[in-house]
Amino acid sequence: MTHDSNVPYIGRATSRVDGPLKVTGGAKYAAEYAAPGLLHGYVVSGAIAKGRITSIDVSDAMTVPGVVDVLTHEHRARTAWLSYNYQDMIGPPGKPFRPLYDDKIQYSGQPVALVVAESFEASRAAAALVRVSYKSEEHITDLEAVKGQSYVPPKRRSGIAPPPKPRGDADDAFDAAPVKVKQQYRVPVEHHNPMEPFATTVVREQDGGLTIYDKTQGSQNNQAYICSIFGLSKDKVRVVNAFMGGGFGSGLRPAYQLYLAVLASQTLERSVRVALTRDQMFTFSYRPETIQTVSLGAEPSGKLTAIRHHAVAGTSHFEDHQEVVVNWSGLLYDCKNAKLTYELAKIDTHTPADMRAPGAVLGVFAIESAMDELAYEVGVDPVELRLLNYAEKDENDDKEFTSKALKACFKEGAERFGWSRRSPEPRSMRDGRELIGWGMATGVWEAQLMDTQARVTIHLDGTLEVASATSDIGTGTYTVMAMTGADMFGLPLEKVRVKLGDSSLPTAPVEGGSWAAASTCSAIKLACQALTKDLLEHARALADSPLKRARPEDVVARDGRLFLRDAPGTGVAIQDILRSAKLDELSAKGEAKPDSKVQKTHSSYTHSAIFCEVRVDEQLGVVRVARIVNAVAAGKIINPKTARSQILGGVVMALGSALEEETFSDHALGRFMNHNLAEYHMPVHADIKDIDVIFVDEQDELTNELGVKGLGEIGIVGTGAAIANAVFHATGARIRSLPITVDKLIDSPAFTAEP
Amino acid sequence: MNRYTFTQAVDADGAVREKIGADVRFIAGGTNLIDLMKYNVERPDRVVDITKLPMRDIAEAPHGGLRLGALVTNAVCAYDTRIAERYPLLREAILSGASPQLRNAATTGGNLLQRTRCYYFYDVDTPCNKRQPGSGCPAIGGLNRIHAILGTSEHCIATNPSDMNVAMAALGATVNVRGTSGERAIPILDFHRLPDDKPEVDTNLRGDELITSVDLPDEAFATHYTYLKLRDRASYAFALVSVAAALRMEGGTIAEARIALGGVAHKPWRRPEVEALLKGAKPGLQTFSKVADALLEGSRPQSQNAYKIQLAHRAIIRALTQAADGTPQSVADKAIL
Ligand SMILES: Cc1cc2nc3c(=O)[nH]c(=O)nc-3n(C[C@H](O)[C@H](O)[C@H](O)COP(=O)(O)OP(=O)(O)OC[C@H]3O[C@@H](n4cnc5c(N)ncnc54)[C@H](O)[C@@H]3O)c2cc1C
Ligand code: SF4
C-alpha cells in the first residue's frame, strides 16, 4: 500500500510492526539467547513456609556429570549486605527479599539453591538430588486468620495514593440513611501467569561487562538493581528486554532468577542462563487476597448519602505492598459523606505485586457490586442509579477532570447491548433451562504520564529511528512509537525503526500503569519537534536556502522534505540538509513530563461502562458469558487495532477473575497448591463468545501533549463486577466471593433447588 | 527429572521382559508420564518406549464389537468412523477431555492408566499416601474441592480423572493385557480399584503387564446416550462430575440402562443393581431422581466438596433425560441443553 503522508497513522487501525517477527519466531526472548560456554542454572525451591534451613546436602547433586556448582546461602559470592541495596524503583516500603541470603525461610517455594551445570538437563536432574533439611516454625498464610490484626501501612508506597481524607461524616450518614447496603466481598489470590516464564541469560562480554537478557517490564530498573547489589557501574551492565511474552505486572520488580543468574555468572565467571519452571512462576508475585466491606447509605430515590469502603489486603512479613483499592468508590460517585480505609495484614508468603489494574480490579469489583445491590434495593435501573450519583468532579481530591466521557460510555454501551429490553427482576429472563442475566458496571483507571525520554534520529537514507528504554510487554508499544515517528516526519511506517527494551537507551520508566503509550509517544513527539528545529537550523545555513527566514513553527517535515506549512513547494530535501552539513544522521532528544500546573487543578482518568449477558443452567449452575459490550473513554486512541486487543485481553482476564481464577493455598502447609496451568484455571477459547469494544469520543486537551490516556488496564476494571451482577440477575444468588464457581452457586440457598 | 536409561521395545513379549526387575516404566504418548517425571513424582531407572509395537489398529473384535489397540490415540479413536457411528458415547467422552494436541498424543492404554490430578500428588514437597505410602493425606481436611465423594478411604480421597474410562465403564469394555505369565482379559469395572489402604496402587494391572488392547462389546447404545461433563471452564479442564448414560429403549420404555460417573471416585463409578431399577421404566424426572439417589448412596463429603453430591444428583437426572430424549450433550457446542 502506498502511504499518503497527509493521512496520519495515529487514529488508524495499524497492524503490529513487530508482528512478522513474532509469528516467524524471529523475536527473541530472554531464555533464547546463547553464548559460548553458556551454563544453565536450575532453581531448587523450598518446601516449608517458615523456619530455618538446617543443612543443605549437595553431595549427590555434585556427582551428576556436567554439574559445575551448587550455590546456596552458605556457598556463594559475597554480594551487598544491606537490604537497602536490594530496593528497586517499584518496590514497596520494607526489606526486599534477598535470594540465598541466609538460612531463613520466609515463604513456601522460596529459592534455596541454584544448581549450575553445563546443560539444562544436568542441572534439572541434579536439582532433584539436593537435600535440604529444615527446622519449621509456625506459619500463617490465611488472611482470614490475621485480618483482625490489620494496620494502616505506616510508610506509604511511592506512586500509590493513600485513601483520601474522609469527607463529611459517613458513619452518621450511614446510620441515618433510609436505605442501607452493607456487604463483604472477597477476591482471592491470583497469579499473573504470563505465557513466557521468567528467565535471564547473562552474557559476559570481552571487556568484562555483562549483557543481561532479562524478562522484565523495566530494563533500567533491573540494571540499577543489579548494579546496586553487585557493586557494578552502569556502563558495565546492560539489560535488554526487546520482547516480553506478557507480564501483567509480574515483571515490574526484578524477579529472583535475575539475581541468581548474575550471582552465578559472577561466582563462576561464565555466561549463565536461569529459566523458571511454570511451578516456580507461583513463587513470587501475585495479586493479594482482599477482604472488603462496602456500606452504602442512600435516599429511597437511590441518591447516595454515605459511602464507606474498607479493605484489608494480605502482604508479606517483609514488605508493605500497597495498591489503590478503596479510593475508586469516592471518585466514581457524588456523595457528601465518604470514608475510605485501606489496611494490610501480614501472612507468610512472598510479597504480592501489581497485577493488571492493581487495586482497581479489587476495589471496583466491591463498589460496583454494592451499587448493583443498591439498585435492587431501591428499584432503580443500575445505569440510572449511576447517572443519579454521577461525579462531575473528583470529590476525593476536589479537582476537575481533564475529561470524563463516562456518560457517553453508558449511552453507547447500553444502546449496543440493548439494555432497554432488560426485565429488571432477577430470574425473570430465560431460554429453556438457562436463566439469562444482564448486568453492568463502571470501570475506572488512572491516566498517567511519567517522566520519559526519547531520541529520534534521521538518517541519510531517509529512515527515521525512534528510541526509548521503555518496554513492549506485548501491548503494541513498538507500533505506536513507529506511528508517532512516522506521522511527525510524514514517512511510511516501513521507514521508521523502533528501538526499545534496552537499558542503554534514553531513560524511561517500567512499562506499567497504562502510561507507556502516552508518555513514550509524547516524548517522541517532543524529540521530533526538536529534530525538526535542528534540521531547520542546518537548512537555513544552506546557500540560497528557501527556508532562510522560516521559523520552527512555520515548517513541517514530510516525505523526506522540510518545507513551509503554508507553501509546500518551498522547502529542502532532508538528505540535502544532512549532506551539506556533512552528517550521516542527526539526532534530537525529547522528554515528556507531567504538567504540574494541570495536576494541581485536574485529575485524569479513563472510564468504561461494561454490559454483560450470562446464561446459567438453572439446575447445574454452569455459567456461560454469552456477550460483553465494553464501552471505553480513554482520550485519543492512537491505534484502534492494538487498543481493541488490549480491551479484549482485559475483558478475558476479568472473565477469568470473575469465574475461574484462584490460587488455592493449603494453609496447613502454607503453600500454593494448584501451581500449574492444568489446575490454575484461566479462560480458554471455548469460554469466550462475543466481546464488543466501543471507544467513545473523548477530547482531552489537558491530560498530555497527545490527548492519549492509555488502555492497558481499563478493560479488566469493572468487568468482573458486570459479570457477577449478571449472575445475580440471572439466578438471584449474589456470590460475593470470587471466583463464582459452580460449587458456590450450588451451595447458595438462593440458587434454585432441584425440580 | 532423574537420569534414566531408555530402550525401545519391538514386540510385546520383549516389552514385558524389559519390565521385570528395576523401576521400569512403559512410555506411550508420554503426556502423563513425562509430566510426572518432570515433577519427580515418577523416577524410573528405565523407560521402555512401546510406541513401535503393533497395537495401533481398530478392528472387529472376535466376539462382536470393536477392538482398540492400546496405542490407538485418543484422536484417532474419536475420529474413526466406526467408533463415531457405533460408539458415539466413547467418542464424545474422549473429545470432552484434554485438548486436541494432547489427544493426538494420548493413547488408549495410557489414558486407562493416567494418574489422579490431586494437587498434593503432583507436589513432592508435600505428603501424599499415593505417592509416598504412609506419609499422610493432606487432602483430607485440606484442598479437596475436586476430590471423591464415593468409595474413599481414610488413606486417600483421590479421583480417577479420565473421561474415556467413564464411557468405557458404561459400555462394559474389557482390557486385554499380556504379562510374563501370559494373557488375560480384565473387565473394565475390575481394572481400576478403590484406594482402601493401598492408594499407591491405582489398578489391578500387575507390574509386568502390558495393556495390548481394549474390547468394546457389541451392544453400543448408539441412539440413546450422552456424556455430560461438568467442569470449571468450558474446555480443557478435568471433570468435577461427569455422567456417561446409555439406554436401550423399546417403545417408550427403558429396556436396559448403563450409568457411569466420573470425577466422584477413585474409579469410574457404576452400580449395575441400581441400573436395573430402570429396566422396564418410563423415562421421567421422579424415576431418574430415585436412580440418582440410589447411585449416590453412601456418598461422603469432604470439607470442600459437599456440592458434588448435589451436582452429581442433578447431572445424573440431566444425563438420563438427554439420553432418553436422544439429545446427547454436544462437545462442539459446549452449551448444556
Ligand atoms: C493438561 C492436561 C489436561 C488433560 N485433560 C484431560 C481430560 O480432561 N480428560 C481426560 O480424560 N484426560 C485428560 N488428560 C490426560 C490425558 O488423557 C492422559 O495424559 C493421556 O491419556 C495419557 O496417555 P499417554 O499415552 O500419553 O500415556 P503415558 O503418559 O505415555 O503413560 C501413562 C501411564 O501409562 C503407562 N502405560 C502407557 N501405555 C501402556 C500400556 N500399553 N501398557 C501398560 N502401561 C502403559 C505408562 O507407563 C504410564 O505409567 C489431560 C492431560 C493433561 C496434561
Ligand atoms: S487424596 Fe490421595 S493422592 Fe491426594 S493427597 Fe491424599 S493420598 Fe495423595
Mutate to test the interface with A, among B123, B240, B333, B334 (most CBs of A within 10 A): B123
Identity (one letter) of the amino acid at B124?
A: V
Nearest atom within ligand 1 for CA of residue B73: 25
Cα A656 to averaged position of ligand 2 atoms, centre (Å): 27
pLDDT tens-place string over residues A322-374: 999 999 999 999 999 999 999 999 999 999 999 999 999 999 999 999 999 99
Would you say residue A2 has pLDDT above 70? Answer: no
Q: Provide the whole-model pTM.
A: 0.97
Pick from A680, A674, A667, A673: nearest CA to A50: A667
Predicted pLDDT at A241: 98
Question: Which chain A residues are within 8 Å of B331, Cβ to Cβ?
Answer: none
pLDDT tens-place string over residues A380-421: 999 999 999 999 999 999 999 999 999 999 999 999 999 999
Strand order of the β-sheet with A555-558 is A555-558, A561-564, A567-573
- Check residue A738 and report its DSSP letter: S
Contact B119 A679 (CB under 8 A): yes
Is A713 annotated in the active site? yes
Predicted pLDDT at A524: 97
Q: Which three cell numbers mark A560?
A: 523526506
CA distances from A361 to A355, A592, B167 (A): 9, 28, 42
Predicted pLDDT at B331: 86
pLDDT tens-place string over residues A231-286: 999 999 999 999 999 999 999 999 999 999 999 999 999 999 999 999 999 999 99
pLDDT tens-place string over residues A402-413: 999 999 999 999
pLDDT tens-place string over residues A665-713: 999 999 999 999 999 999 999 999 999 999 999 999 999 988 999 999 9
B143 inside domain: no
Average pLDDT over residues A499-509: 97
Q: Which residue's entry shows cell 475529561?
A: A403
Distance CA A498, CA A376 (A): 52
- Give the domain extent around B286: 224-324
B92 inside domain: no
Which residue of chain A comes nearest to B313, CA vs CA? A754
CA distances from A240 to A194, A263, A280 (A): 19, 18, 22
Average pLDDT over residues A177-195: 98
Residue of B137, B194, B300 to mutate, ligand 2, most atoms within 8 A of C-beta: B137
Residue A343 sits at φ, ψ, to 5 deg, of -135, 165
Residue A282 sits at φ, ψ, to 5 deg, of -100, 15
DSSP string of A238-283? EEE-S--S--TTTTSSPPHHHHHHHHHHHHHTS-EEEE--TGGGGS
B258 inside domain: yes
Question: Which chain A residues are within 8 Å of B117, Cβ to Cβ?
Answer: 678-679
Contact A620 B305 (CB under 8 A): no
- Tell whether ligand 2 has an atom less than 6 A from the beta carbon of residue B146: no
Which residue of chain A comes nearest to B142, CA vs CA? A666
Average pLDDT over residues A119-128: 98
Would you say residue B22 has pLDDT above 80? Answer: no
DSSP string of A374-429? HHHHHT--HHHHHHHTB-SSBTTTTBEES---HHHHHHHHHHHHTGGG---STT--
Predicted pLDDT at B337: 79
B278 inside domain: yes
Distance CA B143, CA A667 (A): 9
Of A323, A446, A613, A713, the catalytic one is A713
Distance CA B218, CA B60 (A): 10
Distance CA A190, CA A547 (A): 60
Mean pLDDT of the residues in chain A: 96
Closest residue to B233, CB basis, from A128, A615, A687: A687
Pick from A507, A519, A528, A517: nearest CA to A477: A517
CATH number of the domain encompassing residue B239: 3.30.390.50
Distance CA A751, CA A435 (A): 11
- Tell whether ligand 2 has an atom less than 6 A from the beta carbon of residue B138: yes
Q: Which three cell numbers mark B186?
A: 480384565
Q: For chain A, how big is the Rg over CA atoms in Å?
A: 27
pLDDT tens-place string over residues A40-57: 999 999 999 999 999 999
Distance from CA of A663 to the nearest CA of B (A): 11
CA distances from A20 to A15, A24, A26, A467 (A): 10, 6, 8, 20
Cβ burial, residue B263 (10 Å; 0-12/13-18/19+): buried
CA distances from B263 to A649, B87, B116, B268, B288 (A): 32, 22, 10, 8, 20
Question: Which chain B residues are within 8 Å of A619, Cβ to Cβ?
Answer: 314, 317-318
B318 inside domain: yes
Contact B117 A678 (CB under 8 A): yes
Per 3-state DSSP, chain B is made up of helix, strand and coil in percentages (nearest 5) of 30, 20, 50
Cβ burial, residue A39 (10 Å; 0-12/13-18/19+): buried
B213 inside domain: no
Predicted pLDDT at A364: 98
Average pLDDT over residues B72-85: 97
- Check residue B165 and report its DSSP letter: H
Would you say residue A755 has pLDDT above 60? Answer: no
Walk me through the domains of chain A, giving residue ranges and CATH numbers: 33-138+195-246+251-281 (3.90.1170.50), 140-194+285-389 (3.30.365.10), 449-593 (3.30.365.10)
CA A181 from centre of chain: 32
Closest residue to B315, CB basis, from A128, A620, A666: A620
Residue B17 host element (H or E) = helix B12-18
Identity (one letter) of the amino acid at B301?
A: P
pLDDT tens-place string over residues B158-212: 999 999 999 999 999 999 999 999 999 999 999 999 999 999 999 999 999 999 9
Q: Which three cell numbers mark B328?
A: 446427547
B17 inside domain: yes
- Count of domains for chain B: 2
Question: Which chain B residues are within 8 Å of A622, Cβ to Cβ?
Answer: 230, 336
Pick from A506, A519, A465, A467: nearest CA to A489: A465
Distance CA A159, CA A144 (A): 28
Distance CA A629, CA A416 (A): 7
Cβ burial, residue A178 (10 Å; 0-12/13-18/19+): exposed
Pick from B227, B237, B78: nearest CA to B145: B237
Cα B130 to averaged position of ligand 2 atoms, centre (Å): 6
Identity (one letter) of the amino acid at A36?
A: P
Question: Which chain B residues are within 8 Å of A277, Cβ to Cβ?
Answer: 38
Closest residue to A743, CB basis, from B126, B145, B233: B145
Task: Name the B residues in 52-91 with CB < 8 Å from any A CB.
Answer: none
- Tell whether ligand 2 has an atom less than 6 A from the beta carbon of residue B122: no
Distance CA A256, CA A239 (A): 15
Residue B65 host element (H or E) = none
B312 inside domain: yes
